[in-house]
Structures are given as C-alpha cells and as structure tokens.
Amino acid sequence: MDIVSPPDHLPPPIGESQSGDLVKGVIDILKRRYLILISVFAAVLGLFIVALLLMTPRYSATARVKIDPKPLTIAGMSNDQPSMPDQSIVDTEVSVIRSHDVARAVVEKLHLDRTEEFGLAKDDAAAKLSPDEQLEAVINKVSRKLDVTREKSTYLVDISFKSVDATRAAAVANAFADAYLAAAVQRRTGSAEQQYAYLDKRLAQLRDQARAADEALAQYKAARGITEGGQLGTVTDQQIAPLSTQLATAQAAAAAAASDLAVARAQMSQGGAAAASSVLNTPAISALRSNRAQVQQTLSQLSTRYGPKHPQTVQAQQQLEAIDRQINEEAKRILGELQARKSAAAAQAGSLAGDLSRLRGEQASNARSSVTADTLQRDADAKHNAYNRLADLAQQLDQGARSSQSQAQIIERATVPLKPSSPKALLLIAAGIVVGATAALASVAALELMNSGVRSTSEVEQQFGLRVLSTVPLIGAREMKNSDAPSTLVVRAPMSPYAEAFRVLRSSLILSGGRSPQVVALVSTLPNEGKTTSALSLARVMAMAGDRTLVIDGDLRRAGLGALMPQRPATGLVEVLRDGRPVDEAIIADEVPNLDVLTAAEASFLPDDLFGGEAMAALLKTLRTRYDRIVFDTPPVLGVADARTIASMSDAVVLALKWNATSRGAVSQALKWLRLDNAPVLGAVMTMVSPKAEAFGALYYSRAYARYYQTA
C-alpha cells in the first residue's frame, strides 16, 4: 500500500486569495447573514414607525423675554452696567419663571384645571384629594410641560410650552411671560416700599446724630480758644514758618562771622597780621602792600649800590618799617570789626531762637487741642456722609416704590404653531434606522460569536495545520430542480461550479507530490457533513476523467451510498467480507462509465471488526489490481471505529468539513485520532459552502469565473 504524505505546498483553492483580510471577512459575514440583517433591521424600524404613529402630536410655542439686569433708573444718577451679561442674574430670573407661584398664576388665569389635558380625571383617586391638592397636581403637570432656556451669552430667555392644542400652547407661553413680568414688578415695588420705610426711620436717627456732633465740635473749639488762621493752619503755625527761616539765616551769618574770625586769628598767629587773608583782601592793605613792594625794591637797589649804612639806604629802611606798622594797625582794626560782626550775628541768632522756642511751645499746646478737635470734626463729617448716602438711597427707593418699571420686557410673544414639534418624524425614523442597523449588526455578531463552526480556509490552515484541497458550494433550489441528488449534478451539469469543485479536489489529490494516491478515504467528524455525497461525486469525476474507479460504502450502519443507487444488490460488502461471497456479486455499475459501486445490501449493525481482518486486506489487494482509483465512504470518525481502520489502510485521507457547522473541537479531536493511527491525512474539503461566502471566493472570483461555468 502506497502512503502519500501531505504535500508541502498546494495551489490555493477557490476563494483562498487575500485570506485573512478583515474587510473581506466582514463582507462575507454580511452576505451570509443578510436575511437576519434585513429581518432584525426591519423589525426594529417597524417598531419605531409604529411608535411614531401611536404618539400624540404636540405643539410647542415660544415667547421671548429680555432680562434687564440694571437697577432702577434714578434721575441724575449714573447707571453703568458691565459689558458681559451677568450669569447669576439671568439664572435667577429663569428660576423665577419656573417658580411655583408663577405657574399657579397661569393655571388660575387660563383655568387650565378645567381642561382635559391638564385637569384631573374624575376618578376615586382624584375625589380623595382636597381642592388645594388637586390644584397642586395641575400646577405640577403644567410645570412639566414648561421649558425655560437662556440664549447663550445674552440676556434673552425663551419660554416654551408644549401642548396637544396649538392655540393653548401659545396662550400658556404668553401667560407665563405676563405672569413673570407682573411678579417682577410686584416684587420690585414691594421690596422698595419696605426698604424705604426702614430707611426713613434711620435717616431721622442719623440727622440727630450729625446735629449733636456739630454742636460738640463748636463747644470744644470755643472752650480751647482754637481759631483758624486761614487755610495754612493757626496764627502760631503761620508765625513759626518765617521765623524758622530768619533763624536759619541768622545762624548761618553768625557761623560765617565766627569762621572768618577764627581763620583770621589762626593766620595772624602763624604769619602776623599781614598774613591774614581777611586783612590782605581789603583795599587799604592792598595799597600799603603795593607801596611796601616798591619801597622794598628801592631798598634792595640802594643796599646793593651804597651798602646798609648809606643815608638813602637807612631812609628807605625807615619807610619800609613805617609801612609795616600801618599794615599791622589796619589788620588789627579789621580783626576788631570781625569780632564785632560775630558778636552781633550771635546775638541776633539767640534772639530769634528764643522767639522760635516760645512759638513752638504754643504750637505744641495748640496741637494737643487740635487732635481732639480733629477727632470731633471727623466724627461730625462721618455722620454727615452717612446721612447723605442714606438720603440718596432713600430717594431712589422712593422713586422705585412709585414706579411700575419692570426688570424685564417681552420682545417676542408666542404665536400659534402651524406644525407639531413632536414627535419629530425624521429624527425618530433616523434613530430607528441607526438602532435597527446596530441591532442587526449586534445580532449577526452574536450569532457569529456563538457559532463554533469552521468558516474559512485560512482558519483551517492556521488552527489545524491542514490544507483545504477544495471548497464545494451549497446547491440551491434552482440547481436541484432537475436533479435527484447533488451527486447527479456532476453528470447533468458537468461544467457547473459544483462539478468543478470536485475536479479541483481530484487535481489536488493527483498533484499532491510523490506517487498519486490510489485509495482515498473521505472521513468526517460528525454525521450529515456531506461526506457520502462528496465521495460519490469525486468518484464520478474520476471516472469521467477516464480512471477506472470504484467507490466503496464503508458506512455499513447507514449504507447511505446504496440509497443513491437506482437499485441495491442482493449481495453486499458484509456478505463478501464475512461469508466469503464473490466480490463481483456485490459490485454494481454506476450510470457513469468506468465507475463501479460496492455498497451494503442493507444497513448492518454487527459487532464484528469486518475492516480490520485479513478478508478486508485481501479484498483491497485484489481491488487495487482492477481499479485505478478506489474511493472509500466512511462513517464519522468520532462515532464509529471503522472509519479509523479504513483511514489507516488508505493511501490518502481527506477530511470533509461542513462549512459553518463542523465545530473546531470536533476537528481537533478527529485529527488527533487520525494522526495517532498514522493515517495519511492529505487535507480537507469544505462542503456545503455558501456561494456568498469568502471560502468559495464569492467576493472576488465568482463573477470573474462566471463565463467558465454552465449550470444547465
């Protein structure tokens, strides 16, 4: 028996191109589940449409009010306001509009408690309520239909009201605006009157206090003899300033005279009277010094010419001494004048200092009295200021109490709406479309997550390491119209996609590498996975290709292959293996030339191991010499042991997987057993694949290959 190992590389089956692509996978799911998508979407959208039809139309009317945050305008007073709206003021007024008192005024004005929409039903529950409780219930119902919103960054407030009656919606919205304005006026004037009454009493008290403060200040000044000397302070303060200036001047003069005298004395003590700068700088001294210089020069010439004892020399010497005596006398006279000037300046400075000291004493006494006087003055001024401010405020409040000016105004009254505001048909239908699409996609996603069946060739290859040799499409009702079974399509429509799938499978087996397998076993994990139909279809394709082919029904307990034949033989595979009957008695010819069928005469439930004995080995050896290809139809691997025995004696094993049905766990367990038995598992064939599924190539290849097929 030739054993064929799985090939290292096989040409990709139909639909394998671009496997693993996410977009392709999503489209594959949507195409397969389109009925669920449409059903769920239509059901959800239908519910939204029914809800839309059952909803009562409601009309919304809006009145627009402008809030004025400025205080009451008073004649002659500035009334500035900030450039940006005060959020707190507008929010406060919005809360006032929503208040219980305003709603009560509207209900009572329009008699809304008598309307069918807001009035209470005449039942036992309403009868148990008092009139006040019934009115409160109506007010609450009306308040729930009210919507008050502020336009962003403005002083405009929209008052909207919803009602089943368009006229009533406009009337209630306008009534709320009117009631708010009336409440605002009442609140403002009432508050102003109360405040004015309080301020009037307070003004009388402040007036008495200001008068008492003025009297106390006048009495103190009179008692202390405090008089004002103009705007520069008291008389003493005005005398001190110039006297301080005179004293400074006198002291400077005395200091200068003393300095000149001291310098002159110091110079005279060192160099005589003639050396003093104060003396040398006088006109008389300057003239004497000029004469002395001339005499000195004459004396020097005479001494040189005649000698010191010459009469002219002696005379010149006497003239020089006379001039020096005059210089000394003049210097002493000037020094005396400096001494007298110093004494006079010191005396004047002393006199001024005495006067200034006396005035400063008087000033200190006046200052101590002025402190108390200033305190009394500030107290009197404070009382006058408080009185003036309160008088101004009282004037404003008096005007406010007499004025009906409101802090808001209606700039746009509500009009009767022509179309209902709710339900919003387009928005509700759009929401139904979104919710329906979401629910449909969620349903498909849930079904896909709960489904454990294999769906793609890449999944089989990546998870189980098993190449998919071919994908067999699911036969639709149109293709089955003229056929008794799918296996007859390979004969009735040999150029159909179904027949082509088995030709691909045959090519994959023949071109698998090494020696082409002669005995091929089709196995499955569970029943009803299309294994029997696939075995017969593959055998017919092989026979139509010119191979002498035999298909053997190894599923003795169901004998499904015999049910596809026009008639069952009297002798079957069981009789051949157990009783030794000739195999030719059990073989019948198929309608396809070159194809024979060996099946069971009837379903058999025997405990004998018919396939594991020598009889089966001898039979298979004989059949190998008579046929080019032998195809085994086996029972499920996970349910019947015969399948593992047949697989172990075959040249190649092909695992049939029902698309979107065979569970991953079953595939894993079947492969584990087959590999444990050293069965030559060549690959897998996916059966009953939806033509719209990615595994069959519907996304990319089916349309491109349409001209290559003939379904008739």
Segment 450-492, tens digit of pLDDT: 766 777 788 888 888 888 888 888 877 666 666 667 888 888 8
Whether residues 384 and 480 fall in one domain: no
**Domain of residue 468, CATH code:** 3.40.50.300
Query: Which residues, including other chains, have CB under 8 Å from residue 157's CB and lie 6 or more apart?
Result: 64, 65, 66, 67, 90, 93, 94, 97, 148, 149, 150, 151
For residue 624, what pLDDT is reported?
A: 92
Q: Judge whether residue 424 has pLDDT over 90.
A: no
Whether residues 646 and 521 fall in one domain: yes
Q: In the chain, pLDDT over 90 holds for what percent of residues?
A: 12
Question: Distance (Å, rounded) from C-alpha 112 to C-alpha 171?
Answer: 11
Residue 353 belongs to a domain: yes
Residue 49 belongs to a domain: no
Q: Is-contact 177 145, C-beta < 8 A?
A: no
Whether residues 477 and 623 fall in one domain: yes
Domain count, the chain: 2
Residue 183 belongs to a domain: no
Whether residues 501 and 645 fall in one domain: yes
Residue 592 belongs to a domain: yes
Least-confidence region, from 16-25, 70-79, 101-110, 265-274: 70-79
Range of the domain at 259: 231-400
For residue 433, what pLDDT is reported?
A: 92
Of the three residues 400, 419, 451, the one that is the final residue of a domain is: 400
Whether residues 686 and 602 fall in one domain: yes
Question: What number is the average pLDDT over the span 164-182?
Answer: 90
Query: For 602-634, what is each residue's pLDDT tens digit?
Result: 766 666 677 877 888 888 999 999 999 999 988
Residue 367 belongs to a domain: yes
Which one is predicted more confidently, 545 or 224?
A: 545
Of the three residues 359, 379, 400, the one that is the final residue of a domain is: 400
Question: Distance (Å, rounded) from C-alpha 602 to C-alpha 420?
Answer: 76
Q: Count the alpha carbons within 13 Å of 179 in the hemisphere toward its beta carbon.
A: 22
Whether residues 562 and 648 fall in one domain: yes
Whether residues 382 and 472 fall in one domain: no
Q: Judge whether residue 217 has pLDDT over 80.
A: no
Whether residues 386 and 478 fall in one domain: no
Residue 359 belongs to a domain: yes
Closest by CA position to 540, among listed 485, 586, 585: 485
Q: Judge whether residue 349 has pLDDT over 80.
A: no
For residue 27, what pLDDT is reported?
A: 72
Whether residues 472 and 387 fall in one domain: no
Which one is predicted more confidently, 532 or 289?
A: 532
Could you tell me the end-to-end alpha-carbon distance of the chain, in angstroms, rounded to an integer?
40
Q: Judge whether residue 415 has pLDDT over 80.
A: yes
Residue 701 belongs to a domain: no
Which one is predicted more confidently, 645 or 33?
A: 645
For residue 440, what pLDDT is reported?
A: 85
For residue 595, what pLDDT is reported?
A: 92
Residue 118 belongs to a domain: no
Q: How deeply is 95 buried, as exposed, middle or buried, from its count of CB atoms within 10 A (0-12, 13-18, 19+)? A: exposed
pLDDT band at 405 (very low <50, low <70, confident <90, very high): low
Which one is predicted more confidently, 68 or 114?
A: 114
The pLDDT mean for the chain works out to 78
For residue 277, what pLDDT is reported?
A: 56
Q: Judge whether residue 317 has pLDDT over 70.
A: yes
Query: For 681-706, what is each residue's pLDDT tens digit?
Result: 999 998 888 776 666 554 444 555 55
pTM of the predicted model over 0.85: no
Which one is predicted more confidently, 436 or 68?
A: 436
For residue 477, what pLDDT is reported?
A: 67
Whether residues 476 and 386 fall in one domain: no
For residue 254, what pLDDT is reported?
A: 75
Q: Judge whether residue 65 has pLDDT over 60.
A: yes
Whether residues 481 and 630 fall in one domain: yes
Question: Distance (Å, rounded) from C-alpha 24 to C-alpha 9?
Answer: 24
For residue 264, what pLDDT is reported?
A: 73
Of the three residues 400, 419, 438, the one that is the final residue of a domain is: 400
Query: For 222-251, what is each residue's pLDDT tens digit?
Result: 666 566 544 445 666 667 778 778 777 877
Whether residues 499 and 644 fall in one domain: yes
Residue 686, strand partner residues: 471, 657
Give the three-class secondary structure for 331: helix
Q: How deeply is 582 buried, as exposed, middle or buried, from its count of CB atoms within 10 A (0-12, 13-18, 19+)? A: exposed
Q: How deeply is 56 buried, as exposed, middle or buried, from its count of CB atoms within 10 A (0-12, 13-18, 19+)? A: exposed
Give how far Cα 40 sits from Cα of 46, 81, 447, 707, Å. Answer: 10, 60, 13, 36
